[in-house]
Amino acid sequence: MTATTARAGIEPTAPVIEFAAPLLGLAPHTTFTLESIAGADGLHALRTTDADVRLFVLEAPYVDRAYAPKVPASVRAELGASAGDALQVLVVANPGEDGVHVNLRAPIVVHPGTGRAAQVILEDQAYPIRSLLGGR
C-alpha cells in the first residue's frame, strides 16, 4: 500500500501503515505513512494521514542488532502474519538535550506484506522504556 504525500521533501509514495489499535497517546489516529528521512539510515517519520501528527521511529537493527523482542502469537495473528513471516520492528525515538532516547519496552511491529501494525507492550523488564542511543 502506498499513499501520495504533497509535503515538501517527503517521499512521493510512502507506505501506509494501519494500526490495529491507536498508539499510546495518539488516539484516535490509526492510519499513518512511514516516511524515510533522507540521509539518516533507519530513521523514519510516522505521520498520521488525517492530522498534523508525527513521531520519529528507528528501525530496531540501527538501535541494537541483538534487540529481538518476542512478538506474541496473538499480535502476529492480528497483523495477518504467520509464524515464519518477517516483521519490521521499529522503536519510537525521542530527541532531547542529552541525546536521543528510544523506548525498547513498547516496539512497533509492522507486517510489510499487509501494512498492518501494532505497538507491543513487552512484559520483559529487561527492556528499558527510556534508553539513550549510543549509551549503555
pLDDT of residue 5: 41
What is the Cα–Cα distance from 41 to 127, expressed in whole angstroms? 23
> Considering Cα of 12, then 88, then 24, then 38, what sign does the dihedral take?
negative
8-13 average pLDDT score? 52
Give the burial class of 117: count Cβ atoms within 10 A of its Cβ; 0-12 exposed, 13-18 middle, 19 or more buried.
buried
pLDDT per position as a tens digit, 42-77? 999 999 999 999 999 999 999 988 888 999 999 999
All 3 cell numbers of residue 46?
510516522
Residue ranges of E strands in the chain: 2-4, 13-19, 31-36, 43-48, 54-59, 88-96, 99-102, 108-111, 116-119, 131-132
- Return the higher-pLDDT residue of 45 and 84: 45
**Is-contact 115 84, C-beta < 8 A?**
no
Q: Which residues pair with 45 in a beta bridge?
A: 35, 56
- Return the higher-pLDDT residue of 116 and 8: 116
Alpha-helical segments (H) within the chain: 60-63, 73-79
Quickly state the pLDDT bin for 83 (edges 50, 70, 90): confident
